[in-house]
Amino acid sequence: MLLLGFLLIAFLLGIVTLSLLPGVFLMGLGVIFFVMALLKSRAPATYEMPPRTTLAYGALLLVVGLLWASLSVQTVLAGYALAVVLVFFGLVFLAYTRIRPVSK
């Protein structure tokens, strides 16, 4: 509940975009699983999942969340790069049509 509350506040304040929300959520779950594994190793219970398994799930969630977030950022950056390239080629085209050499 705390993780969802923090994500909602970050989204509403504009800190996290909609495309980053799943990645940040998965990274937050990974951190929660890491903390659970640490607490389970201090006082293990026989009916619970072993701490090593919880730690492995936490690492998996953290890595998948990090990959998701980085892919989202790379997609946004690729969009900006494409826009810059299109503007550049548009300016080159306009300049070429204006300063075209005149044949005599």
Q: Is residue 80 part of a domain?
A: yes
Please give the average per-residue pLDDT across 42-60, as a whole number: 86
Q: Residue 30: what residue type?
A: G
Instruction: Report the number of distinct structural domains present in the chain.
Output: 1
| Model pLDDT for residues 7-17, shown as the tens digit of each residue | 888 888 888 88
Say if 49 falls within a structural domain. Answer: yes
pLDDT, residue 5, reads 85
Q: Would residue 8 count as lying in a domain?
A: yes
Residue 103 is assigned to a structural domain of this protein: no
- Tell me, yes or no, whether 104 lies in a domain: no
Distance CA(37)–CA(78), nearest Å, equals 38
Q: Does 19 score more than 90 pLDDT?
A: no
Residue 12, domain member (yes or no): yes
Examine residue 52 and state whether it is found in any structural domain, yes or no: yes
Q: What is the pTM of this model?
A: 0.71
pLDDT tens for 58-99 read 999 999 999 999 999 999 899 999 999 999 999 988 887 777
The verdict on residue 81 lying in a domain is yes
Mean pLDDT of the chain: 87
Domain containing residue 48: 2-98
Contact 26, 64 (CB under 8 A): yes
**Residue 101 pLDDT:** 67
Rounded Cα distance between 30 and 37, Å, is 10
